[in-house]
Structures are given as C-alpha cells and as structure tokens.
Copies of this chain bind each other. A is one copy, B any other.
Amino acid sequence: MEVKHTDMQSHSSALDRPAHPGIFPTREAGKSDHQLAERSVDFLVSVVLPAGGTGERTGLQTPKQFFPCLGRPLLSYTIQAFERVSWIQSIVVTVAKENMDLMTDIIQRFQHRKVRAVPGGSTRHRSICNGVLALGEGGAEERPADRPKVVIIHDAVRPFVEEDFLYKIAMAAKEQGCSESDFEFGTDCLHLALQYCGTNAKLIQGPPMLWKVTYKPDLAAAESIIKETLSQSACVITGGSAQAVTLADALQKSLNMELDVVPDLMGENARYLLKEWNFIQVSVNRSCLSEVEAILTDLEATNRALLHPLVVIWVHLSSSDELSIRGGMVEPAAIVDLASAAKHRNILLYGIQLHQSKDAERWERSVLNVAEIMSALIQERSPALVGQLLQA
C-alpha cells in the first residue's frame, strides 16, 4: 500500500504536467456541470491546505500563495476549486501566524464560506497536523458523525484541481481506508490526527495536472491559464436589432470562443449573469449607454465580478452614412466615467466604435478587426485600457 501526498512528487509533477493543467474555471461556463452533478459522495470529506510558505524561493516579497493573479491571491483560486465541490464539507487553511489577519481578510473579501484559517506549526508537517486537528474541533456539540471520513491534504499553490479527480480520490480513500501502516514518510502528525480526531487521514498523490506554482514564471503561467479559461465564452446582447444580429453572426465566425446571441438578459437569459461569460452589448445608432448601465447593474446585483474581473464590451454600431467613422454622436466622457466606476467593482468596460459600411469587403474587414480587438480585450483584461472607445 502506498503512502501518497500531493506535495511529495513535485519533481515529476512539473515535468509531466499536461497541456491544460486543470479545467476548474471552465466548469462554470462549460457543460460538464450536469454530468458532475450526478455524482454524490455520501460521507464527509474535508480538506487541509497547508499555506505556511514564506515565498523565499520565488524572489517575490509576497509569499507565492498570496501573490495576486488578476487581483486575487493564488490561494483563493485553490480554495475556490475545493469550495465549489458540493460534497466537500469544510476546508482548513494553515498559515503562518503573521499571515492570519491577511488570511481572514481574504476569506471575508472573497466570501469563502467553507473555510477556516488556523495558525501553522514550525514545520510543514506540524502545520498539516494543526490543520487536521482543527477539523476535529467541532466544539462541545460535535458528534462523531460530524467528523470527516476522508481528509484531503493539498498544496495551496496548486490551484488547478478538478472535481473529477477529487471524486476519484475521495472514493478511493473511503474504500481503501487507511491503516497505521500506511504512514511511512515522516507523517507523524497524521498519527496524531488518527489518534485525536478519530479520522482516517490519507495522503493522496496528485496527478500530473496538479501543477505547483513555485517561481515567478509559474505565476505568469497561472495567470495565463486563468485568463484563457475566462476567455472561452461571450454573450452578445443585440437589443433585438437585426443589424446587431447580423454583426453577432459575423463575429461568431471570426471569434475563437463560444458565442451566444440573445436579445436581452431578461427571463431565462438572466442565467448568463450567473456564469463565467463575457458580455458584448451591441447598440445600433444609439450613442446612449443605458443598456450597458443596465448590464452593469445586473452584474453587480449577482456579485459576478467577485472572483474574476469581468469584461463588458460596448459596441457602438453606426449605420448612418452621415456619421464619420470617428463616431459622431458618441460622447467619450460618458463611457470613461462609467468604466471608471465599474473598474472599482472589478468590471472592465471597453467601447468599440464600428461603422457599418455598405461595401461588403470593407465591412468584412471591419468585422475581422472588431473580432481581433474583442479577443485582445477579453484575453488581456487590461485594467489600464478601460473606458477607451476603440475604432474598428
């Protein structure tokens, strides 16, 4: 029987990691929810995330688990990956004492609900031990039935972890159990855990995809993966305009992402507000931004930009020949102010001005140009460029 642990095989994990080291943010936008929902785990599973590192090796002032990726600490992505798994009951993060306040702040700010922070110990093993012991501290009213049956110990700096994999782990751990003889490699703290919590703790070997963020380039890679997963789908809101629908259809051919076209975000379409979509509002011959304002209000109401910066692109399609390409009616100050306010709520608003040419070739070029600009805006998520009214 093997003793396994997610952080015991970093050597091979860095080497063997696959093209896509995880699909976690995709899940929200993707279509696998249904499939996963069928799976259920009928016993209690908890997680310990040791996050006591000091970040010495990264060359960064901030320990790597707290390093911001798109404005959110890496650790929060890892927490999110576990938190969204319905059958995971609770998560304990162990952090160095000096980072307890920071950790508490992160839990509050990103509204993590299943998470508790406890101080780590002087070694990694002691930290894990503290974490496992904390799981058993259910207070006076705790019954043995509340104790987790399986404890997953997972490196806080491996954010790309999939529900599928966790399911397999949990099932295997449950079936296989965990006897004392399993602990071979200095896992004395788990003996303690076994003794004091009455919990079957099992060290689980992570698959190659559990890629570990160790150095500065890894952070760039992680950010790039997160950006990529956030750039897989956009919802085009046409306001019911035939011209806007034509543009959306043309974009569908040029944009390398899933594109859904809807007249508005009312009724059933409101579901887009809850998923990881980007939003493209097309306004035809209307320079007013009221439709964009409505989207921003909706997004704020659903708290959608809490975990990721969200992209909203306003496309002003002018079809009148009298308007100059430069935009005629559009008042740039309006979008600047709106974007500036939205940025504080983690929503990135950009504008694109597009003139509907009657010349087919010219129109095609413009559409390609719009598609290229949209891809860049969505993928790069540059906060510096919000409020700009770009020309296509």
Contact = CB atoms under 8 A, between A and B. Distances in A.
A220 interface: yes
- Report copies per complex: 2
A137 interface: no
A224 B216 CA distance: 10
**For the complex, would chain A's binding face be called helix, strand, loop or mixed by DSSP majority?**
helix
Nearest to A217: B221
Interface in A180-219: 211, 214-218
A11 interface: yes
A384 B388 contact: no
A71 interface: no
A60 B20 CA distance: 11
A228 to B, nearest CB: 8
A376 interface: yes
Interface in A347-392: 372-373, 375-376, 380, 382-385, 387-391
A389 B388 CA distance: 9
B382 A376 contact: yes
A389 B332 CA distance: 12
Given A10-B15, A216-B20, A391-B332, A373 B384 contact: yes
Contacts of A372: 383-384
A14 interface: yes
A375 B20 CA distance: 29
A21 B376 contact: no
A90 interface: no
A15 B18 contact: no
18 contacts: A11-B11, A11-B12, A19-B58, A19-B215, A217-B221, A217-B225, A218-B221, A220-B220, A220-B224, A221-B221, A325-B333, A332-B391, A336-B391, A372-B383, A376-B383, A380-B382, A385-B390, A388-B390
